[in-house]
């Protein structure tokens, strides 16, 4: 029990000191973005991982929560009522909850493909309605808001990025804790049961429809909280926030992180946001890499990053993690070599297709590579092939080491 709390306390501590450890100016906005993504992904996993409901329209509740929060913030700024900025995510959550209940009333009658299609339809419907309902959605320009004009609480204003980060970190922590608590309640547990065997769950005494509906509403609530945080951070909401791209992103990040555990989406959200903001500075085809990573996860490691980590828990418990280091390092290096080769080839293709004909060299892996000669291509192809072949040689050894390390300790 104390170990469980320990994890949460450690997480809170890390969140508090993070801006002081990473001091580059661009880091704080990225960390705020990560916080928002974490809440959004966790809310999505309530549907996908815990409820078995694949939704292609979860961004609707994120967006609607954000729009409502933005309008309320504008009204608070004009003095219509007193609502200090730190309470704004609650408003977003309320908005997400209301619309979750509204749309969930008919979406959750069935699970599976029909549910996915309804969610897609609602998502596209709301995104397209944004142009029609100008007053609420602001048309093409969207709705802007100003977090500095609103009433302050205890003198806390939110002028700098760092102050906004602390607000987001606070709410992300609270939301995560609440969502974890929900997953431990009877309804949360029943959601797992309904996911695995709906008919049997009914025999326990819970209506599967009711359980799905409750999950949907709570997921909508926390998506709305994430939307409110978004409104505070970027001070703009547009129709895009509700569209298929946003719903697709949260699916990608949740799945890559791992839908089978609670912290999987957290991991996925952090990795995805990091790649999205950092990678796009170095390469124009970062979304391709993310898509390939996603496909690889679906095909080979459906349990996601968190799943991979959890697989090694027996080895850790048995006290034999050291045995894995050697074979893993070898296999890892060979994978790295193969990855360098593949990435180099892809980047060179991108360069040849997109750059003007006069440019011939590209900086790849800190080396200026002449893309127009055959040798560069052969070199990277050789790296890719060598890495792949080497991996095929090293993989069985790593697998054997893993099996050996995970073997339960001998009884004495």
Partner 1 sequence: MRRQGLRSLVLGVLAMAAIASAAQAQGPVKIAYVDPLSGAFAATGENGLNQFRFAADQINRAGGVLGRQLEIVPFDNKISPQESLIQLKKVIGDGIQFVFQGNSSGVAHAISDAVQKHNERNPGSRVLYLNYSAVDPALTQEKCHFWHFRFDAHADMKMAALTDVIKANTKLKKIYIIGQDYSFGKAVAAAAVSMLATKRPDIQIVGNELHPIGKVKDFSPYVQKIIASGADAVITGNWGADMIGLAKAANDGGLKVPFYTYYAASDGVTAAIGAAGIDRIRLVHESPAANPTAPKVVGDYIKAYKKFYPNGDVNQPRIHTGLNMLVLAIKKAGTTDVDKVAAALEGMEWTTLNGDRVVMRRDDHQLLMPIYISVHTNKNIVFDFDNSGLGLVNENKVEIDKATLPAACKMDRPS
Partner 2 sequence: MFELVLFSLLNGLVFGMLLFMLSSGLTLIFGMMGVLNFAHAGFYMLGAYFAYTLTGYLGFWPALVAAPLLVGVLGALVERYGLRRVHRFGHVAELIFTFGAAVVIEEVVQLAWGRPAKSYEVPEFLDFPLFRLFQGSFPAYKAFMLLISVAIFVFLFAVLTRTRAGLIIQASLTHPSMVAMLGHNVPRVFMVVFGIGSALAGLAGVIAGPVLGTFPGMAQVLGSIVFVVVVIGGLGSVSGAFVASLLIGIVQTFAVALNISLNSVLAAAGIPLDAQGPLHDLWKVTIAQVAPIMPYLLLVLILIVRPTGLFGTRSR
Binding site for partner 2 (CB under 8 A): 48, 52, 54, 56, 106, 110, 112-114, 116-118, 120-122, 124-125, 128-129, 131-136, 244, 248, 251-252, 255, 285, 287-288, 290-292, 294-295, 298-299, 302, 346, 349-350, 353-354
- Torsion angle of C-alpha atoms 155, 158, 161, 163, degrees rounded to 10: 40
Q: Give 106 or 210: the residue with its C-beta nearer to partner 2.
A: 106
- Rounded least distance, CB 244 to partner 2, Å: 7
Tokens of 123: 């998502």
186 binds, among partner 2, partner 1, none (CB under 5 to 8 A by kind): none
| Calpha distance 231→87 (Å, rounded) | 12
367-370 and 143-144 beta bridge pairing: unpaired
**φ, ψ for residue 211, nearest 5 deg:** -60, -45
Q: Which residues contact 40 (CB under 8 A, 6 or more apart)?
A: 62, 223, 226, 250, 269
- Rounded least distance, CB 328 to partner 2, Å: 25
114 binds, among partner 1, partner 2, none (CB under 5 to 8 A by kind): partner 2
| Calpha distance 99→346 (Å, rounded) | 43
Mutual orientation of helices 244-257 and 27-48 as an angle, nearest 10°?
80
204 C-beta neighbours (distance < 10 Å), count: 9
- Rounded least distance, CB 236 to partner 1, Å: 6
368, containing H or E segment: strand 367-370
Q: Give 73 or 347: the residue with its C-beta nearer to partner 2.
A: 347
- Rounded least distance, CB 356 to partner 1, Å: 7
Binding site for partner 1 (CB under 8 A): 24-26, 29, 33, 131, 139-142, 144, 146, 148, 159-161, 234-238, 240-241, 277, 281, 356, 358
125 C-beta neighbours (distance < 10 Å), count: 13
Q: What is the DSSP letter of 240?
A: G
Q: Give 129 or 152: the residue with its C-beta nearer to partner 2.
A: 129
**φ, ψ for residue 409, nearest 5 deg:** -60, 140
227 near 90, Cβ under 8 Å? no
Q: Give 51 or 89: the residue with its C-beta nearer to partner 2.
A: 51
148 binds, among partner 2, partner 1, none (CB under 5 to 8 A by kind): partner 1
25 binds, among partner 1, partner 2, none (CB under 5 to 8 A by kind): partner 1
Q: Give 158 or 171: the residue with its C-beta nearer to partner 1.
A: 158
| Calpha distance 7→42 (Å, rounded) | 17
**φ, ψ for residue 82, nearest 5 deg:** -95, 110
144 binds, among partner 2, partner 1, none (CB under 5 to 8 A by kind): partner 1
- Rounded least distance, CB 248 to partner 2, Å: 7
349 binds, among partner 2, partner 1, none (CB under 5 to 8 A by kind): partner 2
Mutual orientation of helices 27-48 and 208-234 as an angle, nearest 10°?
170
Q: Give 127 or 331: the residue with its C-beta nearer to partner 1.
A: 127
235 binds, among partner 2, partner 1, none (CB under 5 to 8 A by kind): partner 1
- 156 forms beta bridges with 153
| Calpha distance 217→36 (Å, rounded) | 19
- Rounded least distance, CB 237 to partner 1, Å: 8
230 near 237, Cβ under 8 Å? yes
Q: Give 82 or 106: the residue with its C-beta nearer to partner 2.
A: 106
- Rounded least distance, CB 250 to partner 2, Å: 12
122 binds, among partner 2, partner 1, none (CB under 5 to 8 A by kind): partner 2
- Rounded least distance, CB 139 to partner 1, Å: 6
């Amino acid at each position: 029990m104390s170990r469980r709390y320990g994890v949460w306390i450690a997480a809170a501590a890390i969140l508090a000191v993070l801006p002081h450890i990473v001091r580059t100016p661009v880091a704080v906005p990225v960390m705020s973005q990560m916080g928002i993504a974490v809440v959004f992904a966790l809310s999505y996993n309530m549907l996908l991982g815990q409820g078995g409901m694949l939704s292609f329209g979860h961004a609707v509740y994120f967006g609607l929560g954000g729009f409502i929060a933005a309008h309320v913030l504008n009204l608070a700024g004009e003095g219509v009522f007193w609502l200090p900025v730190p309470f704004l995510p609650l408003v977003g959550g309320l908005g997400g909850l209301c619309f979750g209940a509204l749309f969930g009333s008919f979406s959750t009658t069935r699970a599976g493909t029909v549910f996915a299609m309804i969610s897609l339809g609602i998502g596209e419907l709301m995104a397209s309605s944004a142009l029609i309902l100008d007053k609420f959605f602001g048309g093409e320009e969207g709705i802007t808001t100003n977090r500095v004009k609103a009433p302050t609480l205890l003198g806390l204003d939110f002028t700098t990025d760092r102050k906004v980060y602390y607000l987001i970190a606070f709410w992300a922590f609270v939301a995560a804790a609440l969502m974890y608590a929900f997953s431990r309640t009877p309804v949360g547990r029943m959601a797992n049961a309904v996911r695995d065997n709906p008919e049997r769950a009914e025999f326990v005494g819970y209506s599967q429809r009711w359980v799905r509906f409750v999950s949907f509403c709570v997921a909508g609530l926390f998506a709305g909280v994430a939307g409110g945080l978004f409104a505070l951070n970027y001070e703009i909401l547009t129709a895009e926030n509700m569209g298929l791209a946003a719903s697709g992103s949260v699916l990608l990040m949740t799945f890559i992180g791992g839908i089978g555990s609670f912290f999987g989406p957290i991991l996925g959200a952090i990795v995805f946001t990091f790649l999205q903001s950092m990678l796009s500075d170095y390469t124009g085809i970062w979304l391709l890499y993310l898509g390939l990573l996603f496909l690889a996860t679906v095909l080979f490691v459906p349990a996601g990053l968190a799943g991979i980590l959890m697989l090694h828990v027996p080895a850790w418990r048995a006290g034999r993690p050291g045995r894995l280091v050697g074979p893993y390092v070898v296999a890892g290096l060979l994978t790295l070599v193969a990855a360098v080769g593949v990435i180099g080839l892809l980047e060179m293709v991108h360069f040849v297709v997109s750059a003007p004909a006069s440019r011939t060299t590209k900086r790849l892996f800190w080396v200026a590579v002449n893309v127009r000669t055959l040798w560069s291509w052969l070199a990277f192809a050789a790296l890719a092939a060598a890495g792949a072949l080497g991996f095929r040689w090293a993989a069985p050894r790593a697998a054997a080491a893993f099996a050996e390390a995970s073997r339960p300790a001998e009884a004495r």
